[in-house]
Structure 1
Amino acid sequence: MAQANCDWKTDRFCLGACYYPEHWPEELWADDFRRMRELGFSIVRMAEFAWSIFEPEEGRFEFGLFDRAIDLAREQGIQVILGTPTATPPAWLTSKYPEVLNAKQDGTLYRHGQRRHYNYNSPVYRELSARIVTRMAEHYKDHPAVVGWQIDNELNCEVNVFYSDADHAAFRVWLREKYGSLEVLNRAWGAVFWNQTYTDWSQVHLTRPTPSDSPNPHQALDEKRFFSDSAIAFAKLQSDILRDAAPRQWVTTNGMFGHLDSHKMTEETLDFFSYDSYPNFSTIYPDKGERPLLDRKWSLNLSAARDVSPNFCVMEQQSGPGGWVNMMDMPSPKPGQMRLWTYQSIAHGADMLLYFRWRTAAMGTEIYWHGINDYHNQPNRRVAEAGIIGEELARVGAQWLGSTFRAEVAILKDYDNEWDGELDKWHGPFTGRSVSAWFKALQRRHIPVDTKYVRASTTIEELAKYRVLVYPHPAVMPKETAALLKRYVEGGGTLVLGCRSGYKDAAGQCYMQPFPGPLSGMCGIQVEDFTLIGPYQQAPQVKWNAAGAGTLPGDGFADILRVTAESAEILAVYASDYYAGKPALVRNRQGEGTAYYYGSVFTEESAGALIKVLGLQSPASEWGELPEGVELAIREHHSNGNKFAFLLNYAHDIQTLTFRKPLRDLLSGTEVHGSVAMKPFDVLVLELDS
């Protein structure tokens, strides 16, 4: 694991904004930094898109513009995070060295004119990236205002597949290191099928256009692993330089995008992880199904960031309406929502937060990605709201720094199933639906939940801290992971699995044994039959013998179960189609714990019924009653047991809460007791008994 060179934590909550001095007349800078300080801001990020400012032509370096901007920030007591500018290579670079450009799967090159149009494996791009990072690090390593570095910007955003000539060549090197020989590669890829066997390494490529757009699935899975390792190697190239040249400054990067193992990247290259939080995305791309959570569902994304770093930085927090000139047209946050979303991030583990952006750009693709200040630079309601937040965090924010989110339930995920499921329609689409169903059911019952990624390095201690683990549809199930889950259950844990679990090995090939493969013994069942639910078929009906749930619809798929263990108990049966009367939900006692196998895709109703069976209760039940529209999140200091309950009202109307005992709200400094009306988008942060 990467070791922090310096502690990024401070004794105050650092609040700030992303700032682009190269976009504005220099006479605005001093006033900008002064107004930031007056709002309670103490940190800015800059320079992540400014390569041509630092190196206007190859080999000629200039630092004057940013030297002046950083010095002005320091005069106002504002610290600086510098971005390495490799997300946007200069025109002189892409023109002279077109081999640095990324390509589509058919070989068409992406051209200069947007961002993220380069590839990670071009030797010349790696060389020139290393040079600009080195020169910047050497120049700013001792500047008293510069506290840390952000590597690149949002690795794998916009595009997360890479098919340049350099990538094909690097893929062959990666495969040789992984498999050692073509014989082993052919076996792992099942290349004997459809006569795909390779006899020379020069024949091996990343996936390329195929009839019906259906590549070898095992090759496609390895491809995504390679994309991830390429991004991580590119990040490590930069972090190694920064650690060597600027050892007193910390290193992070931002985002959480596809085909990138953010956990591995953080362990190998960063001091901590940073995330970009835009809850309004969930209002224009809502989860499917009834009663979408909208911006509240963004808490699920934050829980994934929290699994990478229990305490993290939000490098970009939404402050205004968002959109490019041609896409992502998000409406303006309503009064109070910027504050609500700020505390949403903090409730889920953010210990530093910067808004995107200080002022809306007047030129370029993001002229509609609005910041705190509008183009006119005059006071507006977002500026006023930022000032309220700044005052609150300056007054009380330090109290919860270093505390971590507390949950007894975790939803398990893993990168291999995520990536394999992009191509495999027999399990991939189900995971998002089931995760959403469980998250909705837990949220509306005020039961905090973590996202936990299962990895080769995951330990039994990491899992054992949870009372319940929900692993909806892990089709790819290495025997080692199955053994780990069995130890968790035998040690007293409760594991909930859904259909399509356990039938593939790490290469994505199917086990030649009854489903759910290596999970079968622990679950006390075998799948005797199964069916995908077609578009003109009705969802399977499931009759519950437990929880008083009656008959509920399943979704998407039906694993028809057969009990194989005396310790197993049937909790629900199918009530429709040719498999009516067959087991749909089975509970099996194993050691000190219990495994549940549900043969369909979870809905919010079936997740709710299982929550009742599991006996899960909200921690708020000890001190109050909360309406559905309010989220509960709890942060706790493990050193002294101090706890803070964050109550977030996402509803557009007043919500009534009932407190059974007096509690103190840190934000208002008042006591809440009895019936309390919570305004739309309001926030309470309560001190709980240790």
Structure 2
Amino acid sequence: MKQLNPLDELRLGVCYYPEHWEESLWEADLLRMKELGFSIIRIAEFAWAIFEPKEGRFSFDLFDRFLELAAKLEMKVIMGTPTATPPAWLTHKYPEVLNATFEGVTLQHGLRRHNNYSSPKYRELSARITLEMAKHYADHPAIIGWQIDNEFNCEVSVFYADADHIAFRQWLKEKYDTLDALNKAWGTVFWSQTYSDWEQVFLPRPTAVGYQPNPHQALDEKRFISDNTIAFAKIQADILREHAPRHWVTTNGMFGHLDNHRMNDELLDFFSYDSYPQFSTIFYDANEQNPLADRGWSLSLSAVRSISPNFAIMEQQAGPGGWVNRIDMPSPKPGQMRLWTYQSIAHGADMVLYFRWRTATFGNEMYWHGLHDYDNRPNRRVREAGKVGSELAAIGDRIVGSRFQADVAIVRDYDNEWDGEYDVWHGPYSWKSGKEWFKALQKRHIPSDVVYLRSHTTAEELKRYRVLVYPHPAIMRDETAAMLEQYVWAGGTVIFGCRTGYKDERGHCYMRPLPGAAAALCGIRVEEFTKLNGNRKPALMQWKHDGGPVTAAEDFNDILEVTASGTVEVMAEYASDYYAGKPAVTRNTFGGDGVDGAETGAGAVWYYGAVFNEDAAGQIIELMGLRSPAADWAELPAQVELAIRAGASGMLAFLLNYGEAAAQITLKKPMKELLTGTTLSAGEVELEPFGVYVLEIG
């Protein structure tokens, strides 16, 4: 049973590894943490070999001594189950627990996450170590919660051990019941792939051209991995609920092939995330125009918020990062670490732990720096964390439990994400378009959420948003289209891009005019389409307002024909290539009675016949008349992010300056700034480089 409001106070803390350090350091470390305003630490998520040094022999002495000290110093603790790092005795004696590559090569002991979730032996041993730890620590006064495993599906998110093929086959039997149903769902009549015995069915395996599986098999593969991972996590969650019922349960990370929403709903008290904003800068597309850099990490935090409106950050970047042989993140500049901490809090984090207290002196992560460097001396990052600690001690009760506020949501769903990994005719577009929309909204200081549509999502749930941006949902069920139509009749606006609605949930293309399931909703037909690559340059589209600005219609073009002429307005036409003059952007207007018969204003469905760029998103924002919620009280420069949280203590605006130069802000009225406790006068005020304001606005 889930706890009520487990994040009942805003906590700041740090990850700590007592097994890495001489015991003589422990007390001094904890005392210094308390001086910085830290009240919570995470431990033990990689310590299986400490807890069970030999099979069936359990040892709690080291962590008992540390936890006794933590309790004495009134430091709260999150205990991790250590199943991300099976010990050497386990993988040596039971090699069937190891994962395998797509080619069937067994992964060996030596890093982490080299196990598979399907092995009955690994499930048995994982349950046993969890049970022993839960019984031993159920009543410990220092422990308040548990982190299950660590970063499910990090490093590796595909599994091809013998046990996985067997488990996949069983999963398919439960899903389809008969081979006839499976053959129909996978379209195996194509290329003579028809199965006549269940023993012929496997996860994708190498083909004549490497990874080239049946596309419907590949989609089911991702669904299986998600279900299998959740089933593995459930073993531990059930044990903790039964044997440590006073503690909350979470897990961290947001990695591939995992329905985190379902896992959170069924297993967790809240979701946790690991926040490293510089991943946005080291893995960005070098060809991207006007990249948001570390500010772009706010889009990732928005996705976390869709899982758990109030969440925890189990690892907040605290220094330069890198493994010995990969990843190379520079040191945060003065002020950036504090900025990133408030970035997490502004987006819904009610608990933030820095990774880590002190940089490891050995191992693969000895360049993944923590607050302290190897010399263990105070430095500017430690002082910065202390400043955050003192600020949150003063205002944390004003923030905790409040919720992020947005009228616009960028919509995603797992089926399209997973199908799009393999299908290059829509997959690459959703991330690009979502990012460009986020960028356009950010620059205009319009906060946005990320929402995942699920099979049980209702129009009523979506009514809190004025606008839904659903860029390229190739897979769309008729039920989803009907639900979105309800939302639009209630006054909402949905914005689609090209490649919408032409597949069913199996990944089969509809034998209907495109955009398939969304055709009636959009009031159009896709007359023709073309992918743009090689020597086929992006077409141009000309908008039919304000003198006809021109936008590049990138990557893919749907050439449109209006079918609902009474309600559809052509907003832009193609201005180049053989389809010049044809509709490129349309708006279908709805009105009348809304959901439950309520009288509403007009809703609308936009169809944009290409992949979005920032300019195109900006054109639609202007045409819809979307305004920043700050418009009545401030003028904000583009380099500043606006985030708003509201709760019982009122409404707070977080202003985050990602620039290396001071930002000039014009306030239209005096406003209380909570971090300094001062009132800012109306007129121009300056926000320092990487600075943060938390303003009281209601």
- For the aligned pair, the TM-score class normalised by the smaller chain equals over 0.9
* Counterpart residue number, 2:66: 69
Aligned with residue 19 of structure 2, among 19, 22, 25:
22
CA contact (8 A) 1:547 1:613 kept: no
CA contact (8 A) 1:667 1:685 kept: yes
Q: In structure 2, what is the Cα distance between the partners aligned to 1:45 and 1:75? A: 17
Q: CA RMSD in A?
A: 0.9
Q: In structure 2, what is the Cα distance between the partners aligned to 1:111 and 1:256? A: 25
Q: How does 1:283-298 map to 2 (within 5 A)?
A: 283-287=281-285, 288-298=287-297
Shift of 1:479: 1.1
Aligned with residue 670 of structure 2, among 650, 662, 667:
662
* Counterpart residue number, 2:278: 280
Q: In structure 1, what is the Cα distance between the partners aligned to 2:399 and 2:378? A: 31
Q: Is 1:677–2:677 an aligned residue pair?
A: no
Shift of 1:169: 0.3
Q: In structure 2, what is the Cα distance between the partners aligned to 1:557 and 1:446? A: 29
Q: How does 1:427-466 map to 2 (within 5 A)?
A: 427-466=426-465
Q: How does 1:16-55 map to 2 (within 5 A)?
A: 16-55=13-52
* Counterpart residue number, 2:477: 478
Shift of 1:82: 0.3
CA contact (8 A) 2:10 2:399 kept: no
* Counterpart residue number, 2:578: 578
Shift of 1:535: 2.1
- CA 1:122–1:548: 2 relative to 1, 3 Å: farther
Q: How does 1:119-130 map to 2 (within 5 A)?
A: 119-130=116-127
Aligned with residue 247 of structure 2, among 246, 249, 254:
249
Q: Is 1:687–2:677 an aligned residue pair?
A: no
Aligned with residue 175 of structure 1, among 160, 172, 177:
172
* 1:635 partner amino acid: R
Q: In structure 1, what is the Cα distance between the partners aligned to 2:233 and 2:530? A: 44
Aligned with residue 210 of structure 1, among 190, 207, 216:
207
* 1:535 partner amino acid: G
* 2:151 partner amino acid: E
Deviations 1:609-668 (A, max 9, x none): 00001110000101010000000000011x56x100000000111110000000011001
Deviations 1:360-409 (A, max 9, x none): 00000000000001111011111111110000001111111100000000
CA contact (8 A) 1:40 1:390 kept: yes
Q: Is 1:414–2:413 an aligned residue pair?
A: yes
Poorly superposed stretches of 4+, deviation over 2 Å: 546-549
Shift of 1:549: 5.3
Q: How does 1:184-203 map to 2 (within 5 A)?
A: 184-203=181-200
CA contact (8 A) 1:182 1:198 kept: yes
Q: In structure 2, what is the Cα distance between the partners aligned to 1:334 and 1:187? A: 56
Deviations 1:529-586 (A, max 9, x none): 0000022221110000035551111110000000000211101000000000000001
* 1:676 partner amino acid: V
* Counterpart residue number, 1:271: 269
* 1:569 partner amino acid: E
Q: Report SS of the residue matched to 1:622.
A: coil
Q: In structure 1, what is the Cα distance between the partners aligned to 2:619 and 2:3? A: 48
* Counterpart residue number, 1:636: 646
Instruction: Return 5+ residue gaps in structure 1 as ranges.
Output: none
Aligned length: 684
The farther-off stretch of 246-255 and 541-550 is 541-550
CA contact (8 A) 1:74 1:145 kept: yes
* Counterpart residue number, 1:627: 637
* Counterpart residue number, 1:604: 614
Aligned with residue 95 of structure 1, among 71, 88, 92:
92
Shift of 1:74: 1.5
* 1:60 partner amino acid: R
* Counterpart residue number, 2:466: 467
CA contact (8 A) 1:5 1:243 kept: no
Aligned with residue 226 of structure 1, among 224, 227, 241:
224
Q: Report SS of the residue matched to 1:387.
A: helix
The farther-off stretch of 287-296 and 230-239 is 287-296
Instruction: Return 5+ residue gaps in structure 2 as ranges.
Output: 592-601
Q: How does 1:487-566 map to 2 (within 5 A)?
A: 487-546=486-545, 548=547, 550-565=549-564, 566=566
CA contact (8 A) 1:102 1:118 kept: yes
Deviations 1:496-522 (A, max 9, x none): 000000000000000000100111111
- CA 1:363–1:187: 2 relative to 1, 3 Å: same
Q: Alignment identity in percent?
A: 62
Q: Report SS of the residue matched to 1:612.
A: helix
TM-score with structure 2 setting the length: 0.97
* Counterpart residue number, 1:648: 656
CA contact (8 A) 1:522 1:590 kept: no
Q: In structure 2, what is the Cα distance between the partners aligned to 1:548 and 1:58? A: 76
* 2:693 partner amino acid: L
Q: Is 1:4–2:2 an aligned residue pair?
A: yes
Q: In structure 1, what is the Cα distance between the partners aligned to 2:359 and 2:4? A: 33
Q: Report SS of the residue matched to 1:144.
A: coil
Deviations 1:284-337 (A, max 9, x none): 112551110000000000000000000000010001001101111000000100
* 1:624 partner amino acid: A
Q: Report SS of the residue matched to 2:221.
A: helix
Shift of 1:283: 1.4
Q: In structure 2, what is the Cα distance between the partners aligned to 1:370 and 1:617? A: 41
Q: In structure 2, what is the Cα distance between the partners aligned to 1:546 and 1:556? A: 24
CA contact (8 A) 2:26 2:66 kept: yes
Aligned with residue 595 of structure 1, among 581, 589, 605:
605
Q: Report SS of the residue matched to 1:677.
A: strand
TM-score with structure 1 setting the length: 0.98
Q: In structure 1, what is the Cα distance between the partners aligned to 2:578 and 2:11? A: 61
* Counterpart residue number, 1:259: 257
Q: Report SS of the residue matched to 2:670.
A: strand
